[in-house]
Amino acid sequence: MIEQGQSIPESVLTQLTADGMQKHTSDALFADKKVVVFAVPGAFTPTCSAAHLPGFVALADKIKAKGIDSIICVSVNDAFVMKAWGDAHNAEALLMLGDGDASFTKALGLEMDTETFGGVRSQRYAMIVDNGVVTQLNVEEPKTFEVSKAEVILEAL
């Protein structure tokens, strides 16, 4: 598992925009930027939709006011699902990125096998990345939602 002080591995995440499908490299997302990344086990799932994403949507302005260049939401879903989920939650201030093949999640060592729920998914976490280096990493224990909340990350900034 990635740790504080380590660099984000090379990877590609996807986003559906008005101009079509866009691929974002980890270098483009993180180089010379301060970024908050949070990941969820699945778009449109209960805790993710009721609390995790809405918390970051509600606090996006306050988080960005602390010097954050972007807030990225990642899930092992395709970019079409991530766009629909972002649209359903008014997440215009966030980058809603798909990790359809879980390559980013696996490169971080933060995958989990949910078996019949959906196969390989991401653990729930939030991190602060400064110029490609993880400076804060909060990974949830299974079936909890405490340390990756938007309020916790805002406090850490």
**Long-range CB contact pairs, 25-32, < 8 A, 24+:** 26/104, 26/132, 27/132, 29/70, 29/72, 29/95, 30/129, 30/131, 30/132, 31/131, 31/132, 32/131
- 73 tagged catalytic: no
Which residue in 118, 57, 109 sits closest to 86, CA to CA? 57
> Dihedrals φ, ψ of 156, to 5°?
-70, -20
Per the residue annotation, which of 13, 37, 48, 96 is the catalytic one? 48
- Residue 152's beta-bridge partner residues? none
Query: Contact at 8 Å (CB) between 34 and 128?
Result: yes
CA distance 120 to 116: 10
Residues serving a catalytic function are 48
